[in-house]
Amino acid sequence: MKKQFIKSQSIGNDFIIFEDLNNELHFTKEEIARLCDRHFGIGADGLMIARPSQKADFTMLFFNPDGSQAEMCGNGIRCFAKYLYDDCLTNKTKILIETLAGIREVSLSIDNDKAMEATVDMGEPVFKPSEIPVKLEGDEIINQSLEIEEERVKITCVSMGNPHCVIFVEEVVSAPVKTLGPLIENSAFFPKRTNVEFVQVINRNEIKMRVWERGAGETLACGTGACAAVVVGVKNELTERSVRVYLPGGNLNIKWLETNHVIMTGSAEEIFRGEINF
């Protein structure tokens, strides 16, 4: 079977996008993992499927590169919205996209009939442990001590539609992302696993971040993770509510509005398109 796809990226997070407006495309977990494999497949940090929606303009199904399904992807949804507009599936510059984390509104900036940048209303952060979910005591997990295999760290937990565990560090370059990240991701404290952000505060309006993504490992960027880092920075009285986030793959602008909604702005780019056998 042959299927056409689009490959896109946003500040170093790369994605495969398939159109499935007739609800006919069904990948197994193993097939998704193979498509995302950088040696045996196309290679990507995630795979998205575009389907119709009865609640919004479109539905975005998102899968991690290990084949597991995720609720939401901040960088992915910008690429997804650009694809919808650039491929004339919609002429709207404000698109409502249904995800497992709820409906998200994406506003596109257009130049020469192409979407260049996207601003996403990422919804409201959730700090209630049972809804993140995280199995720790307390009404909120803010700067709480956690012991992972004899290493003790201070964590703050939040959901941005998917779970995040944020750790502040002195130097993000030397942070133990590849060793501590997978231990926390797969800890029994996180029944649905978790993304892990290592954050260095530069000043109250700028932070640096590296991320260990659930089901993907360390990636060049994470949109929901950047949002999580900013709201957690505010909670810990380390940052203002409008912050520029520097990641290995590029930069994002994040605002936590007084309405409690988190707004993310960043780029999106198509890399190439093609056809694959599977």
Per-residue pLDDT reduced to its tens digit, 210-232: 999 999 999 999 999 999 999 99
- Give the model's pLDDT for residue 178: 97
Query: Which amino acid is it at 59?
Result: T
3-state SS class at 5: strand
Which pLDDT band holds residue 151 (cuts at 50, 70, 90)?
confident
Question: Assign residue 67 a region: left if phi > 0, alpha if psi is -120 to 50, beta otherwise?
Answer: left
Query: Which amino acid is it at 209?
Result: M
> Which residues, in sequence order, are CB contacts of 269 under 8 Å at separation 6+?
8, 9, 10, 79, 82
- Looking at 62-200, list the stretches that DSSP marks H as alpha helix, in order from N- to C-terminal side: 74-86, 177-185
> Using CA atoms, how far apart are residues 171 and 142, in angstroms rounded to an integer?
21
Strand partners of residue 274: 5
Which pLDDT band holds residue 53 (cuts at 50, 70, 90)?
very high
Active site residues: 73, 222
**What's the average model confidence in pLDDT over 146-155?**
90
**What's the average model confidence in pLDDT over 7-32?**
96
- Range from 91-95, 113-117, 237-241, 274-278 carrying the lowest mean pLDDT: 274-278
